[in-house]
Amino acid sequence: MAKSFSVFCLYADDVRHEVNGKVSYIGTYMGELNAILPVLPGNLARLAVSAFITVPIERKFNKGNIEVLWDETILQRIDFDSEQSSVFSSSKENADTDNANGHIINALLVIEPMQLSGDGKVLVKVTLDDEVVMGNALKVKAKVPVAQDPLST
């Protein structure tokens, strides 16, 4: 069965809301994050997840939730109903244009700090009523730098 909505996620170190209404994404990741930590387990200072959920205009829903997962563990969850979904979105006016395909719900979730004990992946799971769609994942590789002997060079 075809999915009736889609999810795209943008992962970044930080997100800043500018005075002029712009949103700046600082340190974005394209599919993989190489976290260099002094020790494992360790903490990544912050990971910002911006989830863009595109819902066709004709698709109605009563309730939904957005979960940020670390492998199978829920890091953060937001529950909402169809009325509250407008809180996440600043693009409702886009749905009134002639070429709009639907409403875009944008939710920003920040995990801070994010505890890492090894490699894994961050994934966003969105549920509208009983339909579940997964967003694009971010693979995380946690590394501890190998100390070099200064006398060996």
pLDDT for 88: 57
Output the pTM of the full model: 0.83
Q: Is residue 88 part of a domain?
A: yes
Q: Is residue 153 part of a domain?
A: no
CATH of the domain at 74: 2.60.40.10
**Number of domains making up the chain:** 1
Q: Is residue 95 part of a domain?
A: yes
DSSP lists the bridge partners of residue 28 as 12
pLDDT tens for residues 26-36? 999 989 999 98
pLDDT tens for residues 74-90? 999 999 887 776 555 54
Whole-angstrom Cα distance, residue 48 to residue 45? 10
Residue pair 12/48 in contact (Cβ under 8 Å)? The answer is yes
Which regions in the chain score pLDDT beneath 50? 90-95, 97-99
pLDDT for 103: 80
Give the domain extent around 30. 6-143
Maximum separation of any 2 CA atoms in the chain, in Å: 69
pLDDT for 82: 75
Closest by CA position to 42, among listed 121, 113, 98, 94: 113
